[in-house]
Amino acid sequence: MKKYKIENEPVDTLEAYFGTILKNKENLIIPYINLGVSEHEFNKEKYLMYLDYSYIVALGIKALRFNSDISSDQESMYFGGESIGKTKDIFDIEIIAKDIFLFVNNDFKLSKFFWIPKDILNEKSNMDSIKVDEFVNNVNLSYDLKRLMGGDMTEVLVR
């Protein structure tokens, strides 16, 4: 896996989908599909390109808020998207943490077009449905991420 610290180079989650959020006392993992990046290690251009599968990983969580409970703290990083995993009723996520990283598999794909994980209205999925289901439900979570979390992970199911 490749890991990149998120600081002044934010990621775009407006058109993204996230899976079941995992957390323990100090850390958090959010699996994402269609996360947008620009002016980043992956995409140096100013226009957005989209990652097929990625993870936002927060280490040393100081605050975690959802939806209407979010504040406008200057230390905060904000994420969102549409939940397609077991986590429900969450659309805005605020995290204050010691470090926040973007993780991708070595074989990640980047596209100027949206990754569509499921059929939505007039849009047909352009991804393997079995792989999407396994990803959003953390079925094949990598050894690196499991080790980083240190065990005792629980699913954040509802706000």
Residue spans per domain, the chain: 2-149
CB-CB contact of 100 with 57 (8 Å): yes
Residue 87 to residue 72: CA distance in whole angstroms:
23
Position with higher pLDDT, 128 vs 44: 128
pLDDT of residue 42: 77
Tens of pLDDT, residue by residue over 83-120, are: 999 988 888 898 999 999 999 999 999 999 999 999 98
Instruction: Categorise residue 39: left if φ over 0, alpha if ψ from -120 to 50, beta otherwise.
Output: left
Distance CA(76)–CA(120), nearest Å, equals 31
* Banded pLDDT at 124 (limits 50, 70, 90): very high
Say if residue 145's pLDDT is above 80: yes
Does the predicted TM-score (pTM) go above 0.85?
A: yes
Distance CA 52, CA 153 (A): 24
Q: For tokens 């070595």, what's the residue?
A: 106
DSSP-assigned letter for residue 46: S
pLDDT at position 8: 66
pLDDT in tens, 21-57: 999 989 999 999 999 998 878 777 888 999 999 999 9
CB within 8 Å of 39: residues ≥ 6 apart: 9, 45, 46
Residue 9 above 90 pLDDT? no
| pLDDT at position 158 | 65
Residues 6+ apart with CB under 8 A from 90: 21, 66, 67, 83, 156, 158, 159
Q: Inform me whether the pLDDT recorded for 68 exceeds 80.
A: no
Name the β-bridge partners of 38: none
Return mean pLDDT, the chain.
90
Give the sign of the dihedral formed by CA 80, CA 86, CA 88, CA 94.
negative
pLDDT of residue 46: 85
